[in-house]
Amino acid sequence: METTALSDEALVTKARQGDRDAFGVLVHRYQAQAILIAQSVLRNFELSKDASQNAFAKAYFGLARFRGEAKFKTWFFRIVLNEAKDIYRKEKARGLFKFWSGRGTEDENVESVLELIPAGGQSPREAFEAQEAKQHLERAIYELPEREREVFILRYLNGLELSEVADTLGIAIGTVKAHLAHGIQKLRSILLAPAGVQSQAGSLQGGGARG
């Protein structure tokens, strides 16, 4: 069986035995998702890539501590979230952190989190309309409170099961469901609101990782 076809558990076992190629498969398998998760905290593509790389390094050197009581991906995604929050705190303390407000100024030059999701075969017109819709949705997602934003991205952009979201965040499934319900309700309100109202809501609700 090719290495790329192995389960996460088999890849972890091989990586523990010193097989770096096996861990490389895990990196390839979860890199895009890791960046998405980091962006739920940092809202900055370059910082999110840094957080992802740091998290992979910590996961590799921490494999001996991974006991398999949880899935590898939920264990790893928790490392990603913690790393993203550490970077946020450090950047904020240095006075260098700048959030993307969602209004898309030229100075911010932030790449779209949803660009990581393949678009498939589309005509130029369809691609333009899809891109516009993705940007609209992205801005709305980033206006959600931190925990609702994390839950939404883990569940709907990363495709985790409710139990996996709960394991990643260390919260109960009932709490995950509540955050999802509140988040979806807020997204609907934001997406249906006029553009001016959206900008106002973003400035009021904006904010990053807390504690």
**pLDDT over threshold 50, residue 145:** yes
Domain that holds residue 151: 3-99+113-205
Low-confidence winner among 1-15, 41-55, 108-122, 123-137 (lowest mean pLDDT): 108-122
The answer to whether 202 and 103 are in contact (CB under 8 A) is yes
**Cα-based distances in Å from 172 to 109, 112, 166, 167:** 37, 30, 6, 8
Q: Is residue 107 included in any domain, yes or no?
A: no
Q: Is residue 49 included in any domain, yes or no?
A: yes
**pLDDT over threshold 70, residue 54:** yes
Please calculate the CA angle 152-158-164 and round it to the nearest 5 degrees.
80
- pLDDT of 117: 41
Which residue type, as a one-letter code, is found at position 51? A
**Its pTM surpasses 0.75:** no
Q: Is residue 34 included in any domain, yes or no?
A: yes
Q: What is the C-alpha to C-alpha distance for residues 166 and 60, in angstroms, rounded to an integer?
A: 23
162: number of Cβ within 10 Å: 15
Q: What is the C-alpha to C-alpha distance for residues 133 and 88, in angstroms, rounded to an integer?
A: 28
Give the closest residue to 183 by CA, choosing from 208, 210, 211, 146.
Answer: 146
How many domains are contained in the chain?
1
Q: Is residue 106 included in any domain, yes or no?
A: no
Q: What is the C-alpha to C-alpha distance for residues 154 and 14, in angstroms, rounded to an integer?
A: 27
**pLDDT over threshold 90, residue 196:** no
The answer to whether 140 and 187 are in contact (CB under 8 A) is yes
For the domain that residue 192 is a member of, what is the CATH number?
Answer: 1.10.1740.10
**pLDDT over threshold 90, residue 181:** yes
**pLDDT over threshold 80, residue 147:** yes
Q: Is residue 175 included in any domain, yes or no?
A: yes
Q: What is the C-alpha to C-alpha distance for residues 77 and 142, in angstroms, rounded to an integer?
A: 19
Q: Is residue 174 included in any domain, yes or no?
A: yes
Tens digit of each residue's pLDDT (9 = 90 or more) over 76-97: 999 999 999 999 888 877 765 5
Q: Is residue 211 included in any domain, yes or no?
A: no
Q: Is residue 84 included in any domain, yes or no?
A: yes
Average model confidence (pLDDT) for the chain?
79
Task: Enumerate helices (H) and strands (E) in the chain, giving the number of each.
Answer: 9, 0
pLDDT category of residue 118 using cuts at 50, 70 and 90: very low
Please calculate the CA angle 144-148-136 and round it to the nearest 5 degrees.
40
Give the closest residue to 87 by CA, choosing from 114, 64, 58.
Answer: 58
